[in-house]
Structure 1
Amino acid sequence: MTRLFNEPGDFVDEMISGFAAAASRWVQQIPGGVVRAGRSAAPTVSLVIGGGSGHYPAFGGLVGPGLAHGAVMGNLFASPSAHQVRTVARTADQGRGVLLSYGNYAGDVLHFDEAQAELREAGMDVRTVTVTDDIFSAPKGEEHKRRGIAGDLTVFKVAGAACEEGYDLDGVERVASRANDRTRSLGVAFGGCTLPGADAPLFEVPEGRMAVGLGIHGEPGIDEMDIPTAAGLAELFVSRLLEEVPDGVALEGARVVPLLNGLGSVKYEELFVVYRTVHQLLGERGISIVDPEVGELCTSFDMAGCSLTLLWLDDELERLWTAPADTPGFRRGQVAEQQRFDAEVKDDAEETVGRSSAESRACAATVATALEAVARIVDEHADELGRLDQVAGDGDHGIGMQRGAHAARDAARAAVGQGAGAETALRHAANAWSDRAGGTSGAIWATILKALGSVIGDEARPGAEDLARGVSAASDAVMAFGKAKVGDKTMIDAIVPFSDELSARIGDGQGLAEAWSGAASAATAAADATAAMKATLGRARAHGDKSVGTPDPGAVSFALICTTVADVISSAAGTGPQDH
């Protein structure tokens, strides 16, 4: 249970501020996260890592000589936004290129990939290595679908050491990829974690039982069994991981780095008891152990659980793993002296308000009114959305939607106050939603609002046909961006029926208020129908049949918002309720 916080919504901002103050020997805070406080004598490739907060020492605690040059720090269990990634990467860049590395989660991939594309377009050489060490999250042969858990550290450490040795970007990318290919992890949990201000953990495990195959964002385990003894848990870890030995590795004489990781509330003493048997079992198989780590390496807030990671070494990986590093959360050996400097923050997200017509400014005021209504309805349903997300996700969809909707509302209000047209108000709202919410939903809603705005523009008051084209553009953009299709059990299952119905009704001559209302009903029916589906994309995919019987939370929240906006449109047209 998390007990110490002020306002739950301010927790991450206050945590990052406090961390940067406490760790000022190593890091300095910038918008979006932290970068090193010192730098090497000669420029190197820069390693930028990141993800949601709540995993300390990942990710900010791994910034320093011999490891990362910067960490992008999103909200609790929510991926950082593309804007945050760009800011940290641009600030950390020393002119020799940037490697982005992070756990393979849908929201992180969306935001980091978007940032990478934009940075490359601006002329930076940027590469990505995602971490895919969790053997339980996808079967052999589909390793690219696996998520990253405590194995993040092995990839980050190898890549950071390669940067420090002066490797070029091709070389850093190569060894990071090989470290990922040779890293395997398995985690278990005895109880879920509780976010600040929440009245219940994100998931619960029955007394005396253990969830097997959990993620690090509060997702429930993929399997469940009785809690074994410490030796029994060690045997489970080792036996399952030895079924996943990388290609080309022979057990007899192999060299391996074991990482026994506590996820938040399992004590070091308990971990040492488990590690005793891990060490013994590996030795009995003829495996040589190199520089093991036991402790909190990648946590999940206050989750009761642990994981075992094995990094299978070759000569180069061993040299890089054992090289010196000095960070707030991971230290080894003695690093070269660093020169302290003040980072020049390179933030490319200055918002401007250009010219607009009176008609578009009137439309922008309606946009702001709609986003105010959206924020209210999300507040009312946040707990319900969170409960839906707990079934096969990490339970934070309601919280994330609140963060995003509130930020979008405030940004639209501010833009309208500065005389923005409809497209500008939507763009400001989109960027704010993405920045504050992060995660998959943040990326998707930013895409929706930007695509809609690009069709509407800042010059004319849009007609019904324009809005239908804008919604269709948003639907296409989300499918292209997230690669989801109808039937994957995602928000797309509600977006596409909404767009199709809206276009058909307006094509038949219905007015906007009536057409939008009918399309919202279609979205609601489609969202309800996702209950019968099995998730095949995103975090819920790993939980397979557990998602059957529960509608997709993203589809539900989309339909809810469409229905709310229908009331606003009706009110604006003078044909509906006046209290929205």
Structure 2
Amino acid sequence: MGNLFASPSAHQVESVIRSSEQGRGALLLYGNYAGDMLHFDDAQERVRGDGIDCRTVVVTDDIFSASPDEQAKRRGIAGDLTVFKVAGGASAAGYDLDGTERVARLANARTRSMGVAFTGCTLPGADEPLFSVPEGRMAIGLGIHGEPGIDETDIPSADGLAELFVRQLLADAEIPDGVTVRGARVVPVLNGLGSVKSEELFVVFTRVADLLEEAGITLVDPQVGEFCTSFDMAGASLTLLWLDEELERLWTAPADTPAFRSGAFDGSALQPVDAHEDDEVDAAIPDASDASREAAGRIAAALDAVHAVVAEHADELGRLDAVAGDGDHGIGMLRGSRAASERATSAVEQGAGARTVLRLVGDAWSDKGGGTSGALWGLILQAVGDALDDEGADPVAAESVAAGVGAARDAVMGHGKATLGDKTMVDALVPFADALAERVGSGAPLADAWAAASDAAQEAADATAAMKPGIGRARSHGERSVGTADPGAISLALIAAAVGRALADR
């Protein structure tokens, strides 16, 4: 699993796939968040390259995170439970990969959820919650990673909350294709988000059950408890899984997992597997020229400077991220930059050249940083590394560096799907890459070209304060983020400036 509110790294996902697929392929299931998609997709590509059949179903149940006609953009919240349970039931029943993927997609298409919160959650070690709700008010449409609600209303009674849940989830636009409400069979999951416990949940559920039955719905195996939590957040969500005969059979099948147990599960068919360690394994270091090893040492020094500047600004980056996101950007950047700095030092000690060092530190940053930023910085470092040389006399020529940064820009935009104006790191990366290429093309030395490009990145990063997010978790809170710069763009500008100072000190 990943760190707090962060995806597991591609390396961790790959390790689990290889340990568990047993020659039958693997189905990846996760909530629809940018960081998860980057890391899981990367792992999927890696194992597919070795002939492993790997598929993905992304959970998109949160009705407040996008409109009904944009269901693919919706977040995954407590509906993870219903999709995971159905897919697990299919696998345990002997379905092949095609069949398991099919029913997982069906379960996702027939799952809808809505969440509310009375307080935000507080990350371990933090002094205050990621967001606050005014006294007497309730946030609607919050995220499970501490993202603030999309709307607010006065706190209702328990019956009033039940009525709000049911009214929203039974709206015509939220009824899945092929479902008729009257006569339908539904699994309701009333989920506590951390500080709302069973006694309060059952008070709400009593009214939820009455309202669903009044609508002509038959309740099947209702679940009330904590299934998808967010630390100490005071809140709840209601999930409805609209059943057909097959989904009902798979939902009610026995299960025995750390997070969910139901019925008497027969584990006799389970087979032991050999775990693939996900710790760093030193790969063979290719030969490198003296010039490339010297350049690798300068790269390691620059990464030390990167880690120092990230450590200095980590709290600030977290505060920026908490305005419309989950507040973990500073933590993730700190972990990633530390891992990159340490890996660069060890690779240089092993005699690595410039290209190899950057590829290794890209893996390290992605693995330890986690989340969206970890995946994207891994791409950036590896793309720049691929443009350099382990054996040439000029392994970090200005033209090669500029080409590598351009390739990094293209990789980030291709994998992350962000474009200019979406209020992401792309808004700083594109002007940085363009300015660097222009100055280098005009014959400027690398240090001078980098300094000019760094200034362009900082100016562009500051300008993101006026933008509304067009992608990622913050998209659902566009107005809230206006006036605050994007943390990913700011961190890129900080790193560009730190590297620029290291180049100037050569």
Out of 331, 338, 354, the residue aligned to residue 268 of structure 2 is 338
TM-fit CA distance, 1:568:
0.3
Matched ranges for 1:29-178 at <5 A: 73-178=1-106
SS at match of 1:83: helix
Name the stretch that deviates more: 370-379 or 457-466.
457-466
Question: Which region of structure 1 is more displaced relative to structure 2, 206-215 or 439-448?
Answer: 206-215
Structure 1 Cα separation of the partners of residues 12 and 76 of structure 2: 20
1:271 aligns with 2:201: yes
Conserved in 1, the CA contact under 8 Å of 2:11 and 2:43?
yes
Q: How much has 1:342 moved relative to structure 2?
A: 5.0
Using the TM superposition, give the Cα deviation of residue 417 of structure 1 relative to its aligned residue in structure 2, in angstroms: 1.1
Is the CA contact 1:351–1:428 (under 8 Å) kept in the aligned structure 2? no
Q: What SS does structure 2 have at the residue aligned with 1:265? A: coil
Indicate the residue corresponding to 1:205 in structure 2.
133
- Cα separation, 1, equivalents of 2:410 and 2:261: 47
2:375 to 439, 443, 449: 443
- After TM superposition, the structure 1 stretch with the greater mean CA deviation from structure 2, 348-357 or 516-525, is 348-357
- Superposed counterparts of 1:255-404, under 5 Å: 255-338=185-268, 343-346=273-276, 350-352=281-283, 353-404=285-336
1:337 CA displacement: 3.6
Q: CA deviation at 1:340?
A: 7.3
Measured in 1, the distance between the counterparts of 2:293 and 2:273 equals: 39
C-alpha separation between the residues in 2 aligned to 1:248 and 1:285?
17
CA displacement at 1:457 relative to structure 2 = 2.3
Q: State yes or no: 1:481 paired with 2:422.
A: no
CA contact (8 A) 2:354 2:396 kept: no
What is the TM-score with the length of structure 2 in the denominator? 0.97
Indicate the residue corresponding to 1:409 in structure 2.
341
Contact 1:262 1:298 survives alignment (8 Å):
yes
| 2:403 alignment partner AA | R
CA shift, 1:347, in A, is 5.2
Letter in 1 for 2:327: G
2:466 corresponds in structure 1 to 532
Q: Which residue of 1 aligns with 2:163?
A: 235
Q: Secondary structure at the match of 1:260?
A: strand
Question: How far, CA to CA, are the matches of 1:345 and 1:399 in structure 2?
Answer: 28
Q: Percent identity?
A: 65
Distance in structure 1 (CA, Å) of the matches to 2:442 and 2:157: 67
CA drift at 1:328: 2.1
For residue 28 of structure 2, give the secondary structure of its aligned residue in structure 1: strand
| Cα distance change, pair 538–135 in 1 and its aligned pair in 2 (3 A) | same
- The aligned counterpart of 1:521 is 455
Deviations 1:229-267 (A, max 9, x none): 111111110000001111221111110000000111111
2:426 to 481, 492, 495: 492
- Take 1:134 and 1:415, find their aligned partners in 2: how far apart are those partners? 44
Who is 1:186 aligned against? 114
Structure 1 residue runs of 5 or longer lacking an equivalent are 1-72, 573-580
Partner of 1:486, secondary structure, is: coil
What is the CA–CA distance in structure 1 between the aligned matches of 2:428 and 2:10, rounded to whole Å?
A: 25
1:380 & 1:199 partners in 2: Cα distance? 19
How many residues were matched structurally?
Answer: 500
Give, in angstroms, the shift of residue 206 of structure 1.
1.4
Q: Alignment partner of 1:142: what SS?
A: helix
Question: C-alpha distance in 1, partners of 2:437/2:92?
Answer: 56
Distance 2:231 2:365 in 1: 24
Shift in CA distance, 429/297, structure 1 to aligned 2, threshold 3 Å: same
Shift of residue 339, structure 1, vs aligned partner: 6.5
